[in-house]
Structure 1
Amino acid sequence: MFGDVSKPNKLFTAKHPLEILMETTASQDNSALDGPILVTFLKYLFPALVGMLAMGSASIVDGIFIGNFVGVPALAAVNLIIPILTVLFGVALMLSIGGSVRAGKYLGQRNQVAASAIFSKTLVITVVYAIVLIVLGLLFETALFRLLGADESLAQLMSQYYRVILPFLLAQIITIVLYFFIKLDGFPSLAATALVAGAIFNIGLDYLFIVVFDWGLSGAAWATGLSQVFPVLTLMTYFFSRKRKLRFSLRQKNWSEVFQAAYNGLSEFINETSGGIIAFIFNLLIISRAGVEGVAAITVLNYLLMIGFMIYFAIADTAQVMISQNFGAQNVQRLKQLLKICFAMTTIVSLLTIGVLLVFKEALIYTFLSDEGTQATVAIATTFVDYVWPMFIFAGANMIISGYLTAIHLPFQSGVISLCRSLIFPASLLVLFFILFDNNLFVIALPIGECITFLIAFAYFIRHQPQRAIDDDMAKNS
């Protein structure tokens, strides 16, 4: 429709009607650029927070139903599948966040034609990627399970979940793309509503399929999969809004721009895929030391940590929406104020999360487990909480700085932070401490890794504060 819409076409003086519409829309106020900064930030944050918590709570509710009505081995089986899913989601996040950050810069420059082009190309390529990976994942199921260290009994449980959930990942990946771009376009409430709808349906279907129908792990998979249809349908209503700035078209050129933009999402790809690698390493280590109960304890720990990290992600994600646009508009003071707000909020979240974990840890752990035959799992999970809670002292700041660097188009620096906190330090320290310690103390690798990463992240942040970042960007593009 537009050709290479990221660049003006000097061969024509007449303008396409849709281009005229976009230029008219561009003159409208953009609250991310012009609105009261705290009010606007909260306007974006609250829906993002609700959406992230809804998405996180859906996974947690799955864990509660599986742990209480299917059993500890089923929890372990789901945890062993995580590395596969994180690789699939990692690439989708990289494309979505990288594309939305570039689109945000275009919107800050009032170039909605270019923003629409990167939106269209990102959506198409991500859908094609999802279809290819789902087919390959189903074809090589046995080999993947063997690689993950599953024995025959666990592999049978994993298969019940895996074969059902994998095809539904197409809907989940489409949701990811639409979520980031729709929120960027000033529809955070719609994005959050979609995730809440999915969470609500997931809870209801979990109860129906697991408790009432007694379908076990396959029931949990059907509940999660079917519940992902509703967010997609909800987000599709965006295309009927006359107020939207982003327009979808299959007719595009310069498709390589998607992969160039995806580089800005490198840190999110590293975070997601590294999480899968760390889960893989963790599972191998804990199976050798504590068996299925240990893997189940790790699964419970993941659920307990999830809420805090989801809140961090919501804050960082909201910051990216506003920072990318203000960076494009070269609003130095707004960038500084946004960063102050983000660091203040993550500090509050860290203190509250640490307090809840330490005071209510046993009650929280028992939420995921039935009272019978779980004492070994509870004991291991309690020990893990005692060792890993200091992660929250540093993790929030690391995620904010990484997100900030992504938003100002410094993917290498953001990627270094993500690689350090998600893979290099945790993996190397886990193996080292596993060799050094005979008990479960080796999990202190996680908070120590976050601490070391913070020193690196802080150095990058000092080097790339807003004014200098804008000056460097202007010099690069001059």
Structure 2
Amino acid sequence: MKKNLDMTEGKPISLLWAFTFPTLMGNLLNQVYSITDSIVVGRYLGQTALAAVGSTMPVILLLAALMIGINVGVGIIISRYFGQKNEELMRRAFVNSLYLGLFLSAGMMVLGLTFSGTILRWMGTPEGPLQEATAYLEISFITMICPLMYYLFSSAFRGLGDSQTALYCLIVSVLSNIGLDVLFVAVFRWGVAGSAWATALAQALSAVVAAVLLFRKYPMMRMRRQDLRLHGKLLRQITVLAIPIAVQSAFNNLGNLVAQSAVNLFGEATMAAYTAASRIGTLALMPVETIGSSLSVYASQNHGAGKPQRIRQGVRASLQLSLVVSTVLGVFLLLCGRQMAGLFLAEPSAEILTVVQRFLLITAVPGILAGVMQVYQQVLRGIDRANQALMGGVMQLITKIAVVAVGAWGMQNLDVVWLGWPASFVAGTVIPYFCFQKIAREMETE
């Protein structure tokens, strides 16, 4: 395969799969790390430590969503200028996205260090895991520059149509992360804090490798002095695109934060079970998110090249891929989900295994619903309609919070809490679907 992929020519389903596959393998590998991380914490440090790490995850994912959202924006803009063959603006978009990310991450770091303990108490974290959870969260805020740089370079590669090199960088991150995790937690006995430091150092190492590869493989991305200046118009363009994406990603994870607060009401054992179940469930939900993300790059390249008729073809191809992948993974979780839960604790109770099984059945097995939502939200981002995609994200958030609140605080029923996931996928699809149909007709008749 060529080092980068021009998706303005050729069969859409083949192009999308060729672009998606390396990223999908990388993301699955990343989930292997995440699962391994929880296994190391659960088996070496016990149920309380596993609950502590799990209680921080919605906040950590919220931060990651903001970083990813900002950098997805630069990936889309680089894709657009790649389609236009404008190398100067590709470089300037990269630099100005870095400035925006540094500014926002510095502000979030200050706020996070100030309010980490308060956030966890507000979420109802029990006293048992609270201290370790606070330490984990504070380290994550201190090292925010590491994921910022990691996601920035990953998005730059994807914007250039090179998901393969992004995969190589992810492999560096994952393997070093697993090694450092075992070293810090199992050997040095640094506890939950060791797991947080392992993640940050692995991301920093991967960012260094990515920087070397980007500037070596793509000489046109090597910065000139004039490229380093703050470019007001381009910065505004990045901000207008990136902020709605970041906010929508934050909305999605804000729903998970509320869900974690609801789960905390059911006690430490349920918290540990939810930590394990959410790690396993991501194996079904993450691939369809990856397919949707690839569609945004495909749509952006064709939008920049003035080929709107290919965008609708890409949507159909993405829906087909999502259906196949989600069906295969749904069957896998039905058959093996309960057995996988036994990996996280030396002697998991029947209660924990039951919670894991029910969570997977209700939230992860119907993954095609998430796939459809991702397709229509992501294609809107790719054609510079991030605000319409954000409207879908708002509906997704409202629905998830409402269903989770009824299940936890109204009915005290975990199964109703889990229904918040599929219900939110459906709600998050409606507005983006009708917006895309209207916009696509307008684009094709111009």
TM-score (norm 2): 0.90
- Residue number among 257, 264, 289 corresponding to 2:241 in the alignment: 264
* Post-superposition offset of 1:259: 4.1
Does 2:104 correspond to 1:129?
Answer: yes
* Post-superposition offset of 1:316: 1.7
The 5 Å alignment of 1:402-413 reads 402-413=377-388
2:404 paired residue number: 430
| 1:97 aligned counterpart, secondary structure | helix
- Residue number among 243, 250, 266 corresponding to 1:273 in the alignment: 250
User: Match for 1:371: what amino acid?
Assistant: E
1:461 paired residue number: 436
Unaligned runs of 5+ in 1: 1-28
* Post-superposition offset of 1:244: 4.2
Does 2:326 correspond to 1:350?
Answer: yes
* Post-superposition offset of 1:159: 3.0
* Post-superposition offset of 1:158: 1.1
1:168 paired residue number: 143
User: Match for 1:117: what amino acid?
Assistant: R
Q: Which has the larger displacement, 29-38 or 52-61?
A: 29-38
* Post-superposition offset of 1:379: 2.2
Distance 2:139 2:182 in 1: 17
User: Match for 1:360: what amino acid?
Assistant: C
Does 2:368 correspond to 1:380?
Answer: no
* Post-superposition offset of 1:331: 1.6
* Post-superposition offset of 1:45: 1.8
Distance 1:80 1:436 in 2: 22
The superposition leaves residues 294-342 of structure 1 with CA deviations (integer Å, 9 ceiling, x where unpaired) of: 2222212211121222212221222222210111112234323322221
Does 2:128 correspond to 1:153?
Answer: yes
Does 2:109 correspond to 1:138?
Answer: no
| 2:78 aligned counterpart, secondary structure | helix
* Post-superposition offset of 1:183: 2.0
* Post-superposition offset of 1:139: 3.6
* Post-superposition offset of 1:247: 4.2
1:26 paired residue number: none
1:336 paired residue number: 312
What is the RMSD computed on CA atoms of the aligned residues? 2.5
| 1:33 aligned counterpart, secondary structure | coil
2:260 paired residue number: 283
| 8 Å Cα contact 1:195/1:231 also seen in 2 | yes
Distance 1:259 1:95 in 2: 12
| 8 Å Cα contact 1:330/1:470 also seen in 2 | no
1:300 paired residue number: 276
Distance 1:64 1:259 in 2: 43
User: Match for 2:429: what amino acid?
Assistant: F
The 5 Å alignment of 1:167-316 reads 167-241=142-216, 243-248=218-223, 251-255=228-232, 257-266=234-243, 268-288=245-265, 290-316=266-292
| 8 Å Cα contact 1:44/1:188 also seen in 2 | yes
Distance 1:63 1:143 in 2: 24
Distance 1:272 1:332 in 2: 26
Distance 1:221 1:30 in 2: 35
* Post-superposition offset of 1:287: 2.4
| 1:367 aligned counterpart, secondary structure | coil
| 2:106 aligned counterpart, secondary structure | helix
- Going from structure 1 to structure 2, the CA distance change for 1:403 and 1:265 (only over 3 Å counts) comes to farther
- Going from structure 1 to structure 2, the CA distance change for 1:298 and 1:113 (only over 3 Å counts) comes to same
Q: Which has the larger displacement, 220-229 or 258-267?
A: 258-267
Q: Which has the larger displacement, 87-96 or 312-321?
A: 87-96
* Post-superposition offset of 1:346: 0.2
- Going from structure 1 to structure 2, the CA distance change for 1:240 and 1:101 (only over 3 Å counts) comes to closer
Distance 1:367 1:267 in 2: 38
| 8 Å Cα contact 1:69/1:210 also seen in 2 | yes
2:345 paired residue number: 369
| CA radius of gyration, larger in | 1
Does 2:69 correspond to 1:94?
Answer: yes
* Post-superposition offset of 1:196: 0.9
- Residue number among 452, 471, 475 corresponding to 2:427 in the alignment: 452
| 8 Å Cα contact 1:300/1:365 also seen in 2 | yes
| 2:8 aligned counterpart, secondary structure | helix
The superposition leaves residues 143-180 of structure 1 with CA deviations (integer Å, 9 ceiling, x where unpaired) of: 33333333443221113323433333211111111111
User: Match for 1:324: what amino acid?
Assistant: S
Distance 1:434 1:137 in 2: 27
Distance 2:34 2:388 in 1: 31
| 8 Å Cα contact 2:72/2:242 also seen in 1 | yes
- Residue number among 37, 40, 58 corresponding to 1:65 in the alignment: 40
- Going from structure 1 to structure 2, the CA distance change for 1:184 and 1:361 (only over 3 Å counts) comes to same
Distance 2:211 2:217 in 1: 13
| 8 Å Cα contact 1:320/1:407 also seen in 2 | yes
* Post-superposition offset of 1:428: 1.1
2:50 paired residue number: 75
